[in-house]
Amino acid sequence: MLTVDTDISTARAVAARAAPALAILEMPGRQGVGFVAAPQGRLVTNLHVVAGAEEIHVLLADEQCIQVEQVIALDEKRDLAVLQLPIHGVEALRLDGGTHPGEGDALFILLPAGGGMMGLLETRVHAVQVLDESLTFLELEAALPEDASGSPVMDASGALVGVATCAFADGRPVTIVIPSRYVEPLLEQSGTQPLSTLALARPVASRQRQIPTHPLSLLESSTTDGVEEIALAIMQAIQLGAPAYNRGDPESCYRLYERTAERLIQERPDCPGAQAALRDGLQRCARLDGADACAWALRDTFDGLLHVIDRWLQAQAAFARMSAPRSYLQ
């Protein structure tokens, strides 16, 4: 996925150098992204990605799955966390403390693209923002998927520029980069803390998510067009609802989610299983008190549907490849 006209060979070279360091973080009820920034096994991500996690497994690019048990450093001001992998000699990104991109410069974000694939999002610096004397960050032109926070950002030479973060400003999602110069001092810290330190970092993860796990049979008899349109409508609702919630307006978030669920129930008779899941979510809201709890109940409903839809579409694509006619030499 390329959005800027940089030479394709440059993009490929950046992706090839960075790909071995990308990591997927598996936590109960959610996923995250991070990257290895030192061969001693030090992994960097956003603090909000791992805050409150009681268990973290890291899937590396070489398909190793490793459990994290130690924390190196946390920086709440800049939303950064450094975790310690229990292995050394891991391929790491190259840090360059002298990298200071300016407005208009091309940058690359490496992020998961689903199905074990990786994507390279190319964008440019929209602005350099100075929040105060302790934090300067880059605002990018491209929109980052909300679940891709923690992805590494590189320049055309492949050097780490910083950590990509999905944030919100004036009610709209924006992609920012926390510069690598704030990461480097954290990597140099000695000593470790237990994983339980993350429970004290921020209260945002104290909420118990109740994301339903649906079997693929939920979408049996559904049409592919219908399933894809449901996924698109849900993602659009989340993109609008999440910023409202983060602004302190759970009522608007909940009402948006509610309208989306009701509309999909009415308009998608070609996806009866998805309709049933959405009805269950609305019924759960009827038993809850307050817009905050209801907003999270429908977000759990939406995330559960998105997970099964992603698996279902991958299964459909695999079946199509197996069923395709084969050509043989005559």
**Is 326 part of any domain?**
no
3 confidence band (pLDDT: 50, 70, 90): very low
What CA–CA distance (Å, rounded) separates 102 from 94? 20
pLDDT value at position 9?
Answer: 75
What CA–CA distance (Å, rounded) separates 224 from 317? 11
Question: What's this model's pTM, rounded to 2 decimal places?
Answer: 0.59
Phi, psi of 290 (to 5 degrees): 95, 145
Final residue of a structural domain among 162, 196, 230: 196
Indicate the number of domains in the chain: 2
CATH number at residue 243: 1.20.120
Do 130 and 262 fall within a single domain?
no
Do 183 and 228 fall within a single domain?
no
**Is 310 part of any domain?**
yes
- The pLDDT tens digits of the residues spanning 186-230 come to 999 988 999 989 887 753 333 456 888 899 999 988 999 999 999
Do 164 and 249 fall within a single domain?
no
What is 211-226 written as a DSSP string? Answer: -----GGGGTT--HHH
- 330 pLDDT exceeds 50? no
pLDDT value at position 273?
Answer: 95
**Residue 280: domain span:** 220-321
**Is 210 part of any domain?**
no
**Is 76 part of any domain?**
yes
Angle at which helix 272-286 crosses helix 224-246, to 10 degrees, equals: 30
Do 102 and 226 fall within a single domain?
no
Q: Is 6 exposed, middle or buried (0-12, 13-18, 19+ CB in 10 A)?
A: middle
